[in-house]
Structure 1
Amino acid sequence: MFPAFLKRTYSARSSSLLTMACAFLLALGVAVPAHADSKTLKMATTTSTYHSGLLDYLLPEFKKDTGYEVQLLVTGSGKALKMGEMGDVDIVLTHSPKAEKAFLDAQFGIDPHSVMYNDFIIVGPKNNPAKLSNDDNAVQGLTKIAKSQSTFISRGDDSGTHKKELSLWQSANVSHNWSNYRSIGQGMGPTLNMSSELQGYTLTDRGTWLAYQEKLDLAIWLQGDPAFFNRYQIIRVNPARYEGLNVEGAKALSQWIIGERAQTLINQFQVKGQKLFTADAKTSN
Structure 2
Amino acid sequence: MSRSGAQAFSVGGAIGTLGGLIGLGGAEFRLPVLVGHFRFPTLEAVILNKVTSLNKVTSLAVVAASLPLRGMAIPWAAVFAQWAVVVNVLAGSLAGAWLGAHYATRMKAEWLNRVIFVLLIGLALGMLFGHDHLNGNHAGMADGTLRWIAGLVAGVGIGAVAAVLGVAGGELIIPTLVLLFGIDMKLAGSLSLCISLPTMLMAFARYRQSDAFAACGRERAFLIWMIGGSLVGSAVGAALLGSVPTDWLVWGMGVILFISAVKVFHHRH
Task: State if a TM-score over 0.5 links the two structures.
Answer: no
Greater share of residues in strand: 1
TM-score, structure 2 normalization: 0.31
Larger radius of gyration: 1
Higher helix share: 2
Q: Under a length normalisation based on structure 1, what TM-score does the superposition of the two structures give? A: 0.30
